[in-house]
Amino acid sequence: MLTKAYIKRQIKEGKEKKFFELLKRLRAEAMHQKGYISGETLIDTDNALNIMVVGSWQRLEDWKSWKDNPTRKEIDSLLEELQVEPTAYESYAFSKYRVYVKSGFPRPPSSVDPTVA
């Protein structure tokens, strides 16, 4: 099932150039990973030091595999040295209720039609 990974980072002031060089390297590595679809980097309109990367993956397992990849972890540790706080990760899946039920998620309320997205 299609998965979106939301990755939030806050850059230390004055470290932007090195940060974006490493982020570009990380993206280049991700592009060669199984299940990678796309990625985009968003900059907070109120604080340009707050960054959100949104990655699209074919399956949750593909995203988890990349998240645990030693190359990614190495680059991520270099990025974290340039950040105010540790990276925050969240992942979300696109699917219909019935797929969630098959995956062990709680059933939707009985008044909800599980065949409707």
User: Mind listing the pLDDT tens digit for each residue in 82-111?
Assistant: 999 999 999 988 766 555 546 666 555 555
Q: What is the pLDDT of residues 38-67, one digit of tens each?
A: 999 999 999 999 999 999 999 999 999 999
Q: Which of 82, 57, 69 is nearest to 29 (CA)?
A: 69
4: three-class secondary structure by DSSP: strand
Domains of the chain: 3-102 (3.30.70.100)
Higher per-residue confidence, 114 vs 29: 29
Residue 36, beta-bridge partner list: 57
pTM metric for this prediction: 0.79
Cα 82 to Cα 31, 53, 64: the distances in Å are 23, 16, 24
